[in-house]
Chains A and B, each alone.
Chain A
Amino acid sequence: MRSFHPGASKAPMKFRMPTAENFVPIRLDLDIDGQRFKDAFTWNPSDPDSEVINFAKRTAKDLKLPPTFVIQIAQSIQTQLAEFHSYEGQEMHIKEKIVPLKIDLRVNNTVIRDQFLWDISNLESDPEEFARTFCKDLDIGDPEVGPAIAVSIREQLYEIATQSISSARETRVGKKGRRGGDIVANSKAGNMVDLGKLFGSKGSVIRKRKEWYLYEPIVDILSNEEVGALDAREELNARLKRKLDEKEESFQTRYSHG
């Protein structure tokens, strides 16, 4: 048993996802000719590049999307993969910390809200396993919930991992393709839990009873009307946001010209 020093940093290691499998969460949010396509899944970065274009073709064929989507999908995936690969050469400093992760998402008719603690330094952790167990334990009927949870966890872990790279702190490119409409990503993953307090002499591993409700998962089933209403609202928000972004860009270009 190694002695426990909260805050002590391990030797820096090469960037990777702090999970058993070095998978990347990919999020797609494309709007072409008025047709919207949103998706999120887990990708294995060691798959060959040919997989990307095959996947894009297959997805477009399965969902009967117009062929213009194929290129866009492939490009989006490749961009995100490239970003991931760009981090890979660098070193990250993982402190032994336990971070709270949040799940707050809606998949078809199911709403899931949960928060739990995750050990960043555990390189054997498995978000997929967590998601599978979550769905099984809570008896979730919709099979699309599992992947969404896994992707959400991975995204948060990805964010934490990239934050721990010292050089990445300065440049943070606007992750437009990353934030989907229906996920409140946990960007401030910084409030790590002070392990010393928990496991020191005064603390205990057992959670205080008054805090139990905070960590209890909530699963809600919505009726179709509510789903429709939420979808409509999200569409609206997304459209407004896009308009704002466009305005900003045009604003900037105007300034840069002047």
Chain B
Amino acid sequence: MASTSPPPAPAPVLSLPNPPRPQQLAQPPPVAAVKSEVPVAEPRDPPASFSSIPPEPSPAAVAASYTITIPSCSGWFSWDQIHDTERRILSEFFDGKSASKNPGVYKYYRDSIIRRFRGNPSRKITFTDARRGLVGDVGSIRRVFDFLEEWGLINYTPSAKPPSAKKGEMGDDSEKKEAPRRICSHCKSSCNMACFTTDKADIILCARCFVRGDYRPGLSSTDFKRVDITEETKADWTDKETIHLLEAILQYGEDWKKVAEHVGTKSEIDCAARFIKLPFGEQFLGPEEVGEYGKPHQKNDKVVTVPEGENVPEQSVSKRMRLTPLADASNPIMAQVAFLSAMVGSDVAKAAAQAAISSLHKVDIAGGNNASDDRLRPAASDGSKEEEAVAASNGQTSSDVLNEAVAEAQSQLKKEEQDVEQYLSDVVQVQMKEIQDKIVQFEELELLVEKERQQLRHMKDLLFADQLVIMQHKMQLLSQGNEKGEKVKQTNHVP
């Protein structure tokens, strides 16, 4: 439910080299508060000159992988927020009656106590431990501590009965056992990993019996359908459900509760397990929540696992080793190939076989069974290696394969970056084009305006010319008038 991100970079003041973080928590603690709790988990380091972390005798270095379980009734917990439940129950911090009892102080108590517990989760933290490390009055610290303990945020072990039924989920009553264990009708042993059922007769066979091939007459191997128990409880994952699952994950991220709701028919743990089983699922494996399979499913528990040596997938892989379906005992190599292919499923086996064939093509088949056998072997071993590699990538800890996955992830990342750059440049281009168009428009406008100006000037000139003409005429008239006047005078003068 909580958002996950890689653990925060160590605060700059700390000069001690941080060992591979034992604090592989699902929720990253706020950076500021990390310092005070780090020494609990760190091995004994000489005190650096800049930091005051004393050389504490530390508990035996915390194993890199451990699980922190909190009951699902406390699923609301998040490092970054204070939930209504907390506000309601520990109202003294939120009613504003006292200046120094405020949500910040509550958060400080809560985060310190939980972090302290998770620094050494195999040991229950006592109230005295907690209050000795916290600044504040012991009364309020005790109330916060009791609250956290009651709600299973500290000192909670899944085997212990949840303290009270009133906290939401009904205690162990509704503990849902796994789907009825399948017993192989033939050898009467329980089928763990995969079983094969047939509709023609009501028979369930474990993988071993199926391989051995002694079913009743009338049934052939094709009648049997492979059912993985670890993945499905009652039914296979249909395509619809898988699509729902992917949609839900895209939408809700890693809020498995909501994802399970969206899918409908599968529980949270199944969804998470299925997601990881999907071919690309392992890329998202990080400090995340992984469904815990192999153990009886408890609806109450939400498991937060630290990958790095998951014991359970290893268990499952070792169990798979026992499968020998379709074994053609005569050719040991084919037997191995066959068992690996049955182990990983048909699609993967097909891909691996195709790869083997293509590599075979590259090899010169100079004839002779021996020669081809020799090459077949490396090719087959290549194929089987590939299958192994593929199998291994389903959760094993082979570092090479992990590196491959990492490289793949990185290349995808690069591709995405390139895409983003491409889009950015497209956007920029489009905007530039817009600007260019605008410029063109403005130029046209300018031209028009210029033309108008010229016209105006022309008109002005014409006007001026007209004015001149008028003036001329006026002058002429005036002078004519004068002349006439003078002539009249002159004529009058002459007697």
Interface residues of A (CB under 8 A from B): 20-21, 23, 41-44, 47, 51, 55, 58-59, 61-63, 108-110, 124, 126, 128-129, 131-132, 135-136, 138-144, 146-147, 149-150, 219, 221-224
Contacts and interface: CB of A to CB of B under 8 A. Distances in A.
Interface of B: 13-14, 32, 35-39, 47, 50-56, 98-101, 108, 112, 116, 126-129, 131-140, 142
A135 B32 CA distance: 12
Contacts of A124: 99
A146 B135 contact: yes
Given A62-B129, A142-B56, A143-B112, A21 B100 contact: yes
A227 B129 CA distance: 21
B138 A41 contact: yes
Given A21-B100, A23-B137, A146-B134, A139 B128 contact: no
A205 B36 CA distance: 34
Given A20-B98, A109-B54, A143 B128 contact: no
A141 B139 contact: no
Contacts, number: 113
A43 B142 CA distance: 11
19 contacts: A20-B100, A41-B131, A43-B139, A51-B142, A58-B128, A109-B55, A124-B99, A131-B135, A136-B32, A136-B36, A139-B52, A141-B51, A141-B53, A142-B54, A143-B132, A144-B132, A146-B133, A221-B47, A222-B54
B100 A128 contact: yes
B373 to A, nearest CB: 66
A139 B100 contact: no
A61 B101 CA distance: 28
A109 B52 CA distance: 10
Nearest to A142: B54
Given A21-B100, A108-B54, A144-B133, A44 B139 contact: yes
Sort A-B residue pairs by CB-CB distance and give the 7 closest, nearest first. A143-B133, A141-B53, A62-B126, A62-B128, A146-B135, A109-B54, A44-B139
Given A21-B98, A141-B38, A147 B140 contact: no
Contact of A147 (B38, B135, B139): B135
Contacts of B140: 44
Given A62-B127, A139-B13, A141-B35, A43 B138 contact: yes
Nearest to A25: B137
Nearest to A39: B132
Nearest to A150: B135
Contacts of B101: 21
A196 B59 CA distance: 55
B473 to A, nearest CB: 90
The residue in B35, B50, B56, B131 that gathers the most chain A C-beta atoms within 10 A of its C-beta is B131
